[in-house]
Every structure is written in structure tokens, then in C-alpha cells.
Amino acid sequence: MMLRLNKKTVIIAFSGLLAFLVFFSIYMGKDMTRVLPSSIQDTTPVLLAAAQLDKLWNYVYTMQYKCTKSEYLGGKPEMRMDGAYDLCTEEKFWPLSTNKDYKCLMYSFGVGFDFSFDDEIAKKKCEVHSFDPSMTYEDGWHRESGVTFHKTGISDVDLDKDSNGWKMRTLKTILQEMHHNGRYLDYLKVDTDAPGNRGGFEDVLLQELLDTGLHKCVRQFAMEIHLAGPLTKKKWADRVDTIYRQLLQLRDHGWKIYNTTDNIRWEPDLSYTQLKGKQKILYNDAIILWEVAMVNT
């Protein structure tokens, strides 16, 4: 007896095979999609990117720790509190909550002329150093709140002048130059925009924390994750994959997410949601921004 397959059955079969190969490629690190006809292969980069985005999307929205005491600090009211971040004030993550003599230390990378969060932390008697090479303030400037400004950016290499004319340093070098070796960073914040708002430097700092083991010396870590589109471009698709894998590695070292905020405050349309950005970013020059806060358990 001859088996008859109609067009719908063939389409379903190919769709199932393609879905299997896409996810097999992601989880096994092998590009098995090459066995498909070229007309179908052309769609696989987008499907792979969409699958990777879904994994990162689901990860950042899954809270892994419930902080019983927290404060949402800083932010610009005129920008719907852009620049605000969460501080978990439980004693094990914020010793100042019970020991007023504790020598607290915070590094903040990326200011963008908004010191509001950094100022609030400094007012709690924590030593705060804010870094941003793109600003016009004088290096070493001391703010009334107690914050010290440094005209330096975070990077994976030490440069006195990069292509933007900026002084850049690794975290390890900054700790050495600031004579902070041997101290905990009670709060580490990174909210850095690359020129043109096409991603940031948070992946650079994440990788250094993992490679050097410096993640062991940080109590709380907050960052704005910048995803740029279109994800049909390998550069931006790879960034999604890199950040996802970095977060998984941090999780394996005991880091847990306790707060994630959508940053859509730049969008004038008050009905805009992050889901709309998710739909756009695959094919368009769009962005997704998350403010993610983690604690080192």
C-alpha cells in the first residue's frame, strides 16, 4: 500500500524537523540545520535568534531570590524614574543596615549626567565612586553627597585613550589603582551605553567577573542589559547568546536575580510595552533594555 502525504502533512513534518534542528543546534552547539534545503536554511538564523531571545527573556523575568527588605532609589521623575535601581538591604547583602561603622564600597559604571542613585547610596554613608569617560566633569570631582567622579570607563583592556578618546580600564586595574584590593564591593552597578545606543559594556564586565573570580568579592550587582536589533545581524544575535550564557555561569556561582525592571521610559508612547520591542528587534533597528538586580548568595 502506498502512503499518500498531502501538502499540509509535508509542511507540518518540515516544520517539526526545523524546530528540532534549531533547538538541537542551540543546546548542543552544532549547526545541524545545514541538512535542510537552502530555501529553508535561509530562515534558520532568524529562528535561532528568536529562540535565543526567548531563553534570555524568560531568564531575566524569573525571580530567583525574594529580598524581604529593599529600597528603590534614585531616578529622574521627568523620565519616569529612569536611572533608579533596587537595593536589597538585608544584612547579609548590606552590612550597613546593622553595622553603621562598616566600611561600605560601591562602584558605579555609567552615569549619563544622572547621579541620583549614586547620591542616594552615598547618603547612606557608603563610599561611592562613579565612572563615566563620556562626561565633561573633571576627573576626581567630589560631589556634595560624597560621590567621587572618575573620567574613566570599563573595558576588557587598559587604554589611556581609545577610539573615542576615552580612558578605559579593566575592573581589576581600577581596584589596584584605587587601592581597593582586598575589599568587598558592596554594590556594583553598570549602566553603560555604547555610542549610538547600540549595546553597552555590561557583557565586558560580566566576563571579567567570571574570568577573574572577582564575582566572589561583590555582594550586589545591578546592570542595565542593552539588546540591539536587528537580530538578523550575527553581531547582535551573538550578544544575546553571550549575555544569556554569562548569566547562567553567574547563577552557577550563586548569583540570583531578585528584581528586573523594563526600561521603556525613553519611549514617548505611554502604551508601549517591552513585548512590542521583542516583536521589533528581530528584523528592525530596535532596542530592549532591562534593569536587572542580583545578589551573591
Choose among 267, 192, 276, 179: nearest CA to 226.
Answer: 192
Say how far apart CA 225 and CA 213 lie, in whole Å.
21
Q: What is the pLDDT of residues 115-126, one digit of tens each?
A: 999 999 999 999
Which carries the bigger pLDDT value, residue 29 or residue 264? 264
Percent of the chain with pLDDT over 70: 80
Cell 534542528 belongs to which residue?
A: 21
Helix axes 44-60, 234-252, angle to 10 degrees: 30
Which carries the bigger pLDDT value, residue 269 or residue 44? 269
Mean pLDDT of 234-245: 94
Which carries the bigger pLDDT value, residue 7 or residue 186? 186
Of 64-73, 119-128, 186-195, give the lowest mean pLDDT range. Answer: 186-195
Mean pLDDT of 282-293: 91
The pLDDT score that the predictor gives to residue 10 is 44
pLDDT, averaged across the chain: 86
Mean pLDDT of 222-251: 94
Mean pLDDT of 127-152: 96
Residue 97's H or E segment, with its range, is none
Cα–Cα separations (whole angstroms), residue 186 to 43, 124, 131, 183, 294: 45, 12, 16, 9, 12
Domains of the chain: 43-296 (3.40.50)
The pLDDT score that the predictor gives to residue 200 is 80
Q: What is the pLDDT of residues 3-43, one digit of tens each?
A: 455 545 544 454 555 555 545 554 444 444 444 445 444 55
Say how far apart CA 178 and CA 250 lie, in whole Å.
25
Say how far apart CA 155 and CA 203 lie, in whole Å.
10
Q: How confident is the model at residue 83 (pLDDT cuts 50, 70, 90)?
A: confident
**What single DSSP character describes residue 216?**
G
Give me the residues paired with residue 193 across strands.
Answer: 200
The pLDDT score that the predictor gives to residue 208 is 97
Is the whole-model pTM more than 0.85?
Answer: no
Proportion of the chain in helix, strand, coil states, percent, rounded to 5: 35, 20, 40
